[in-house]
A and B are shown apart, each in its own frame.
Chain A
Amino acid sequence: MAKKSVLQEFSKGLWVEVPPFRLVLGLCPTLAITKSVDNGIGMGVAVTFVLVCSNVLISLLRNVIPKEVRIACYIVIIATFVTVVELTMQAFVYPLFLQLGIFIPLIVVNCILLGRAEAFAAKNGAAASLADGLGMGIGYTLALTALSAIREILGNGTFYKIAVFGPDFEPFRFMVEAPGAFMCLGLMLCVMNAIGKK
């Protein structure tokens, strides 16, 4: 495989390998928290922060960490950043923290993070890892935002808490419930596959 440029590493996360739709990773929070746009964006930003920090740090330490204990080391690093995010969110955006709840600490076990650490940061330099983490994180945020926008608009008649259809609109309640999440994600995957087919 030819060496890709930093820009390519960044942009692949936005479309070609966008995590929830192409890699189909990190689905648990994707399904659970995309009830409203602010939740989607909040979760995306939290994941992006952890992804960028852990990617860079793991890439810097990749020659120091012994192969045999690498997974343990990665998990410690990722868990540290997740806890930092959790405490920061509690301190500054408490209502959002209450909404996202258990899914913030669960970022630790999100496959995107360990996946990127193992598959990318452990083999590439810091700059490329930064680009990779940033691209993946932004791709994840955009995917969550898109999914939560559809669900919030149809299920609640609002976008970012602003009413879009006026008072007479009867929302499709089930879109903000669990079945709506599965259907919506399924349809999005279907559309993405149809577009991506060569």
Chain B
Amino acid sequence: MAQLLRLFAAVTIISLVSGGLLAAVKSGTQERIEYQQLKFVKGPVLKAIFKDASNDPLADRLKIPLDKGEVNCFVGVFNGKKNTVAIEGFGKGFGGDIGVLVAINVENDQILGVGVTTHSETPGLGSRAKEDPAFAAQFKGKPITDPFKVKADGGQIDALSGATVTSRGVCGALLSVSEAYQRLKPAILQKLKEKA
């Protein structure tokens, strides 16, 4: 019996110490990891759609509470004014969720730019949603309240040929951003005011 207890004690103590150590390391690195993930996954896309901004949208991000979680909201400064925010939304594509960052001017609710962040679409077909700038450029200047649909569904968006499902997914992501943006707009404006 004493022997059995010794075994229990050894494994328990080692596991407890490791668990404690890992919890400490995790909480110590969490913020940096989050920043690195933003930088390397969303950074290039953000840079592309915010190429004339005078600030670092990654550093100037707001966290807006939504439902139970939080929404990352990247702020862009144009002509000295904090007037643009980028929000990420997801839509169902051919191979999984497509993440799309949408930059919106808060003064006139127009889309400044759109960029795909993460996707698992077919290389050469659906993946053009990320690679082909002409596809994303269609959304530029449109009001965020538009009912985004591909032409096949009666909308105005030219689908990528051979990748209608992907194009629908991107439209879906835009709609989810649009919905989130309209719900969050008061909170965003207030936060922008606080910071300015």
B-binding residues in A (CB < 8 A): 61, 64-66, 68-69, 72-73, 76-77, 79-80, 83-84, 87-88, 90-92, 94-95, 98
Contact = CB atoms under 8 A, between A and B. Distances in A.
B33 interface: yes
A69 B10 contact: yes
Contact of B32 (A61, A64, A84, A91): A91
Given A88-B25, A94-B40, 17 more contacts: A64-B10, A66-B3, A66-B7, A72-B11, A73-B10, A73-B14, A77-B18, A79-B18, A84-B22, A88-B29, A90-B29, A90-B36, A91-B32, A91-B36, A94-B36, A94-B37, A94-B39
B127 to A, nearest CB: 18
Interface in B3-57: 3, 6-7, 10-11, 14-15, 18, 21-22, 25-26, 29, 32-33, 36-37, 39-40
26 contacts: A65-B10, A66-B7, A69-B11, A72-B11, A73-B11, A76-B11, A76-B14, A76-B18, A77-B18, A80-B22, A83-B22, A84-B21, A84-B22, A87-B25, A87-B26, A87-B29, A87-B33, A88-B25, A88-B29, A91-B29, A91-B32, A94-B33, A94-B37, A94-B39, A94-B40, A98-B40
B103 to A, nearest CB: 24
Nearest to B21: A80
A134 B40 CA distance: 33
A76 B16 CA distance: 10
Nearest to B22: A83
Nearest to B31: A91
A69 B14 CA distance: 11
Interface residues of B, number: 19
Contacts of B11: 69, 72-73, 76
B29 A68 contact: no
B156 to A, nearest CB: 37
Nearest to A70: B10
Nearest to A97: B36
A95 to B, nearest CB: 6
What are the 6 A-B residue pairs with the smallest beta carbon separation, nearest first?
A80-B18, A94-B36, A91-B32, A91-B29, A90-B33, A87-B29
Contacts of A91: 29, 32-33, 36
A95 B41 CA distance: 10
Interface of B: 3, 6-7, 10-11, 14-15, 18, 21-22, 25-26, 29, 32-33, 36-37, 39-40
Contacts of A68: 7
A168 B160 CA distance: 36
Nearest to B19: A80
Contacts of B7: 66, 68-69
B87 to A, nearest CB: 23
Contacts of A73: 10-11, 14
Contacts of A61: 14
Contacts of A98: 40
Contacts of B36: 90-92, 94
Contacts of A88: 25, 29
A86 B32 CA distance: 13
A88 to B, nearest CB: 7
Contacts of B22: 80, 83-84
A98 B37 CA distance: 10
Contacts of B10: 64-66, 69, 73
A94 B21 CA distance: 22
B40 A95 contact: yes
Contacts of B18: 76-77, 79-80
